[in-house]
Structure 1
Amino acid sequence: MGTATPSVTPYLTVADGRAALAFYAEAFGARPGLRLDDPAGKVVHAEMRIGEAILMLAEPYPEMGISDPRALGGSPVTIALMVEDVDATVARAAAAGARVLRPPTDEFYGHRAARIEDPFGHAWYLASVREALNDAEILRRWQAMVGQA
């Protein structure tokens, strides 16, 4: 973490940085990295690792045009997270305060997937691979499902 990050790294804005770090650790097993707090205790930058992915977060800075999803009425962005057991992960996230938007369901593209909203307004697509499918099979299944076959 620190200066060596992947070329695309989600940077979440959350109303309560300390609570968000605790939620992500409990729900997704996030491991903490660099954290910078201002003298008043506001999280101005924090890094965490979920599996091999790095996420960053900070609390809002309206004076800099940085707001959290709840202040904006929600977010159109969904974060995709592949997990070993989607049912268990959704249960853990719900117990930690997430709202289940769509319970785990077996999908035509081979995933068992769910959608949740974390307590800070960020949407997450959580999935486990049930079948390893190639693009041609996914396309075939899609076309059959929507009546284009």
Structure 2
Amino acid sequence: MEIDMVVEDAIGAADHYAELFGAMILSKTDMEKNLNEAILIIAGTEIRLLNENKDYDLFSPNSDMSSAMWISLTVEDIESLYEKALEMGGRSIQPITEYKEINVKNAVFEDKFGHVWVLNQVLV
């Protein structure tokens, strides 16, 4: 399975996600801005980042709408990743919350490209 995400700047987003999540960048194009794309892997999932291109009805999220899709990622250290996400321009939607009854902590943030991420950490 591959996830395709539209962003304003695919090359910049690939570099951002590599720094934030430790994503492995497989490829980046060097074309006109509205035609660029990048492919990366986060947590074993291939993600294709496509530049916003109105001619092809590819629109990146904007802050005036809520997201119909969230990307859920299980991590080992939710505190440091959540803090890093906010330092790198993310916006908190839900702070880190612990659910002892199901042994999980989670948090939700919107990254600087408008995509919503749910971070989960399983408690041992």
TM-score, structure 2 as length reference: 0.88
Which residue does the alignment assign to 2:6?
A: 13
Question: What is the letter of the counterpart of residue 70 of structure 1?
Answer: N
- Is 1:110 paired with 2:87? no
What is the identity, as a one-letter code, of the residue corresponding to 2:109? I
| Contact persistence 2:92–2:109 (CA under 8 A) | yes
Which residue of structure 1 aligns with residue 18 of structure 2?
25
> SS where residue 121 of structure 1 aligns?
coil
**Partner in structure 1 of residue 36 of structure 2:** 44
- Distance in 2 (alpha carbons) for counterparts of 1:9 and 1:125: 18
Count of residue correspondences: 123
Q: Could you give the per-residue CA deviations for residues 108-144 of structure 1, whole angstroms, max 9, x where no partner exists?
A: 432110000000110000011115xxxxxxxxxxxxx
Unaligned runs of 5+ in 1: 1-7, 132-149
The offset of 1:75, in angstroms, is 2.2
Question: Residue 62 of structure 2 aligns to a residue in which SS?
Answer: helix
Structure with higher Rg: it is: 1
Matched to 2:13, the amino acid is A
User: How large is the Cα RMSD of the aligned pairs?
Assistant: 1.8
- Equivalent position SS for 2:5: strand
Matched, 1:81 2:77: no
Alpha-carbon distance in structure 1 between the residues aligned to 2:33 and 2:56: 18
Structure 1 residue aligned with 2:92: 100
Contact 1:49 1:55 in 2 (8 A): yes
Q: Which runs of 4+ in 1 moved over 4 A?
A: none
Secondary structure at the counterpart of residue 70 of structure 1: coil
Query: By how many angstroms is 1:37 displaced?
Result: 2.7
For 1:144, the equivalent position in structure 2 comes to none
Tell me how far 1:73 sits from its aligned partner.
2.9
Native 8 Å contact 2:30 2:36 kept in 1:
yes
Q: TM-score, normalised by structure 1?
A: 0.74
CA, structure 1 residues 24+63, in 2 after alignment: closer, same or farther (shift >3 Å)? same
Q: Which has the higher strand share?
A: 2
